[in-house]
Structure 1
Amino acid sequence: MRIAIVGPTYPYKGGGAQHTTELAHRLRAEGHDVVIESWRAQYPAFLYPGQQTIDSPEGEPYPNTRRDLDWRRPDGWIRCGRRLREVDLVVLAVLSPVQVPAYLGILYGLGRRAKVVALCHNVLPHERKPYDVPLMRALLRRVGGVDGGGNGGVLVHSEQQAALARGLTDAPVRVAALPPHLPARSPGASGGREPYGRLLFFGIVRPYKGLDLLLRALTQLPDVGLTVAGEFWGGLEETRALIAELGLGDRVELRPGYVAAEDVPGLFAGADALVLPYRSATASQNVWLGHEHGVPVIATRVGALADNVSDGVDGLLVEPDSVGALAEALKRFYEPGMPQRLRAGVTPVDPEPYWTTYLDTLLLLPPSPST
């Protein structure tokens, strides 16, 4: 099958780019003829406040990649669609409603010549703007043919996201868990070492990820420190002010900015546990990333986080949006022998079953058009 994936890849960074790249490699390994249609300019800087690109790839770049798409050039969107008229399947990797105008331009150029799947990492953002719903409705209806478009469907990563998608389109919606697409594998750490008394919060810092809850909970554990490593999408000065207000200045290390892949193992090696105090979530690689480095994970019961943590075996689960509940979980984690026991229970994820299911589900969408 001739397949085109439209989405970010190297030199773009982060989970979306890693997923697009891994998906292309795996489809090619299955014998398909795959091209990635990627970006030379994906977002206006004011809509993506973090670092967009990197100098060194986070994994093996995909060789058959075009990097022509530009958010400032609608004519290029249409040309891309026309170029893809000869492929059998077009996969649109949807990470943000900001991409929708470009994707609608591609669909306009494509016409009805190919099957189309909208692969939605998030159907709607965690922190929504007024234009998000109408943009995503326009895309998903167009993919499904409701507004004169193609014969396509939608792939999402959880039942909750499927419900959101079905509220926006009558197109077929299928669910497959987001498979592991970790940038590098690392041998798990030993389960026997004594705890350091330091926790890790890792990744892009946004309000829905609950760093403020973790900082407030930390005040109830006087001998425990915290490293916060990742890009701040706003709120850095407010976070510093909160740390000072709570008297945590000597226990919290802020490392704002993108963490390069080669620096990740060292961060996890110095942590007793990775803490994911999210208020909401869809799918996240961070549980698997922690386990890949031999680190237990303390996470809230939101999205797919709870599916990937075995409470009391390789981590702890806690109810979301509660400083008190999170503090109790942290205290439980530091009970005598608990850090060692949970660390000993950590097992790196086997990606193969996830990817087998994922590719099977993707290639089932959309259904073949009637003739």
Structure 2
Amino acid sequence: MRVALVGPAHPYKGGGARHTTELAHRLTAVGHPTVIESWLAQYPALLYPGTQTLDSGEGEPFPGTRRHLAWYRPDGWLRAGRRLAADADLVVLTVFSPVQVPAYLGVLAGIRGRTRVVALCHNVLPHERRAVDVSLMRALLRRCDAVLTHTPEQARLARGLVGGRGDVRTAALPPHLPTHPPSHGPPDRPRPSDTDAADGVRRLLFFGLVRPYKGVDVLLRALAAGPPDVHLTVAGEFWGGPAELAALAADLGVADRVELRSGYVPVEDMAALFAAADAVVLPYRSATATQNVWLAHEHGRPVIATRTGGLPDHVREGVDGLLCAPGDTIDLARAITEFAAGDTAQRLRRGVRPVDPEPYWRSYLDTLLA
């Protein structure tokens, strides 16, 4: 089967680009000729204030990548659709945001039903929605032959939008962790003793794009309510800047225990960042699927996470991490206190194992190709 993936790839950064690229490599490896129809310009800067591209990749680039799509060239959307209709047996639209919908509708107009189209939804609807988002996603999903989601909750959302008109399936998001190209191997994992500090301080890490739904404000409040010998680093791009969270930390009296490290973290800096932490904290109010549990485990670190989306599926309570209720400052403070007490940190770290990606990818490809 000839497959075309429409979505971000290098030089775009982040999990979406890594997933599209890894999916292309794996489809090719099992005998399906694949191309990536990627972006020359994916979003207007006004809608995505962070840095969109990188000079160096976060994995092995896929050689069959074309970069012709641009958000400001509707004629290019139509041309891409006509080309895909002629060259592919299956077109996969990778969906991250309703902002993509106008371009994808243009691609579908070019395809004109001449080949099968699957919407691969990383998010069926945004965590922080606008009034128009539901209408846009309904228009897109009803024009596709099938929809693939990553959690049962997302599948229910998709079924509500297609109204019984489409084939909606679920497959767990497989691991697509950042690596130094050209290697597909895991990053260097720090030794278990790396954070056995003599000062008795426990160091927590929040890693990734900082947006309201990820609950960093809840984490700061929980830090203030928990033991005083716990410090926190927040590392990643801050949606709208770090000033609001810095002011909250100061108001809560924890500014001296919080480091706000603003900016995208390149893959070459990740090992040192994770090695300096005792645990990774994912205080999300809501979630679909994330790589950050697996990323923490690849670096040998346990996880404190909320029970939302796919997070609890990958944290073994009391073995390699702790779970708490989403949006609940008191319960998160309880988990942090439990982690900091006695030998809990060392015990959980001993329970951490890196993920085996192969079973996840076999199931994922089977579902997608079906």
Normalising by structure 2, we get a TM-score of 0.95
1:84-103 CA-partner distances (Å, limit 9, x unpaired): 11210000000110000000
- Distance in 2 (CA, whole Å) between partners of 1:237 and 1:336 is 35
- Distance in 1 (CA, whole Å) between partners of 2:134 and 2:241 is 25
Please, which of 208, 212, 222 is the counterpart of residue 203 of structure 1?
Answer: 208
Q: Is the 8 A contact 2:234 2:261 kept in 1?
A: yes
- 1:59: which partner in 2? 59
- Distance in 1 (CA, whole Å) between partners of 2:26 and 2:307 is 31
Displacement of 1:124 in angstroms is 0.1
* 1:181 maps to 2:186: no
- Distance in 1 (CA, whole Å) between partners of 2:104 and 2:351 is 44
- Distance in 2 (CA, whole Å) between partners of 1:308 and 1:37 is 31
- Distance in 2 (CA, whole Å) between partners of 1:80 and 1:262 is 35
- 1:153: which partner in 2? 146
Displacement of 1:261 in angstroms is 0.6
* 1:28 maps to 2:28: yes
Letter in 2 for 1:76: G
- 2:299: which partner in 1? 293
- 1:270: which partner in 2? 276
Displacement of 1:106 in angstroms is 0.4
Displacement of 1:194 in angstroms is 2.3
- What does 1:33-48 correspond to in 2, within 5 Å? 33-48=33-48
Which secondary structure does the structure 1 equivalent of 2:82 belong to?
A: helix
Which secondary structure does the structure 1 equivalent of 2:72 belong to?
A: coil
- 1:233: which partner in 2? 239
- 2:112: which partner in 1? 111
Please, which of 219, 222, 231 is the counterpart of residue 217 of structure 1?
Answer: 222
Please, which of 172, 194, 197 is the counterpart of residue 196 of structure 2?
Answer: 194
- 1:9: which partner in 2? 9
Which secondary structure does the structure 1 equivalent of 2:173 belong to?
A: coil
- What does 1:309-324 correspond to in 2, within 5 Å? 309-324=315-330
- 2:141: which partner in 1? 140
1:84-143 CA-partner distances (Å, limit 9, x unpaired): 112100000001100000000000000111111000000000000111000000000111
- Runs of 5+ in structure 2 lacking a partner? 180-185
Letter in 2 for 1:342: L
Q: Is the 8 A contact 1:200 1:271 kept in 2?
A: yes
- Distance in 2 (CA, whole Å) between partners of 1:48 and 1:194 is 39
- Distance in 2 (CA, whole Å) between partners of 1:189 and 1:263 is 13
- Distance in 2 (CA, whole Å) between partners of 1:203 and 1:282 is 15
* 1:172 maps to 2:167: yes
Displacement of 1:243 in angstroms is 1.1
Q: Is the 8 A contact 1:141 1:171 kept in 2?
A: yes
- 2:95: which partner in 1? 94
Please, which of 249, 254, 261 is the counterpart of residue 260 of structure 2?
Answer: 254
- Runs of 5+ in structure 1 lacking a partner? 144-151, 365-371
Identical residues among aligned pairs (%): 67
Report the count of equivalent residues. 356
Letter in 1 for 2:137: M
**Could you list the runs of 4 or more consecutive aligned residues of structure 1 that deviate by over 4 angstroms after TM superposition?**
none
Displacement of 1:188 in angstroms is 3.5
- What does 1:321-340 correspond to in 2, within 5 Å? 321-340=327-346
- 2:285: which partner in 1? 279
Displacement of 1:272 in angstroms is 0.3
- 1:355: which partner in 2? 361
- Distance in 1 (CA, whole Å) between partners of 2:268 and 2:356 is 22
- Distance in 2 (CA, whole Å) between partners of 1:341 and 1:197 is 14
- 1:369: which partner in 2? none
1:274-328 CA-partner distances (Å, limit 9, x unpaired): 0000000000000000000000000000000000000000000011111110001
Letter in 2 for 1:91: V
Letter in 2 for 1:39: W
1:331-364 CA-partner distances (Å, limit 9, x unpaired): 1001111101000000000000000000000000
Letter in 1 for 2:94: A
Displacement of 1:250 in angstroms is 1.3
Letter in 2 for 1:226: L
- 2:183: which partner in 1? none
- 1:368: which partner in 2? none
- 2:123: which partner in 1? 122
Q: Supply the RMSD in Å over aligned alpha carbons.
A: 1.0
Displacement of 1:186 in angstroms is 2.3
- Distance in 1 (CA, whole Å) between partners of 2:191 and 2:28 is 36
Which secondary structure does the structure 2 equivalent of 1:168 belong to?
A: helix
Displacement of 1:187 in angstroms is 4.0
Which secondary structure does the structure 1 equivalent of 2:255 belong to?
A: coil
Letter in 1 for 2:18: Q
